Structure 1
């Protein structure tokens, strides 16, 4: 998408706050009639600005109160090694986010899990079984001080 105008930015902000808005509700909130609003949403989807829609679930309600951040360091950085590590991380359901890093560590991995014992099992069964890993350093989060929030939408 070439550039976002003020209405596009309002549409994106409203949809990030509540992706279940009807087109009529969204149109009312951004000051458009329904037809142009729907056209703009479709353009935002087609251009890839809107990737997908999802529900935000409660970790606690699902019995997943533990959030761990694991910093992984690789033995080597060859293409095949990196591909293998990334593929393995994608197959572990408890790994909900993984980031390739610049700096001392190679990956930052966010893990949500039922208990510390379950984390230890995951560590032994999944993470330590990745042969390319040189080290795993884990930090546990006590609380969320700022939950995932809408992305800031840059001005023109």
Structure 2
């Protein structure tokens, strides 16, 4: 058992559901080597304990007309907790923002924005982002091609801990 309370079977469940969240309980149980009832109990515990946050479909951006991905570096105008919080709230409210991270370095935030095209990004930039008073600087980086997106989270560190915990008993 790892420090996170996960054993190798839990990790197999997490890996399988990251690969295909639409697995039936029977299919999942077969994949991880459990009968359906204990498998379902484990999945419910993983959900309840917050390891599994949600289930959703990952849409193909191009297929639904969102062909432009922009990574935006944003610097806060005057560094203060209030400005940072206000900017976080404003960015979170924009549906075009699909990811936002407060970072260290030259930018304060790195934001992933998905829009239909350059014209749509120009509108978002001029009508929404540049009107926010707490923004001091914006740098836009346009994705030329997607190499890897929406990948499952790596679980190797948890596997090592679970093996070490099992060996320590």
- TM-score if structure 1 supplies the norm length? 0.97
Structure number with the higher helix fraction is 2
Structure 2 residue 15 is matched with structure 1 residue 8: no
The aligned residue for residue 141 of structure 1 is: 143
The aligned residue for residue 55 of structure 2 is: 53
CA-atom RMSD, angstroms? 1.1
Give the 5 Å matches for 1:53-92.
Answer: 53-92=55-94
The aligned residue for residue 114 of structure 1 is: 116
CA distance in 1, matches of 2:46, 2:100: 26
CA distance in 2, matches of 1:33, 1:138: 51
- TM-score if structure 2 supplies the norm length? 0.89
1:23-60 Cα deviation digits (max 9, x unpaired): 00000000000000001001101111111111100101
CA distance in 1, matches of 2:13, 2:123: 44
Unaligned runs of 5+ in 2: 162-169
Corresponding residue pairs, total: 156
Deviant stretches of 4+, over 3 Å: none
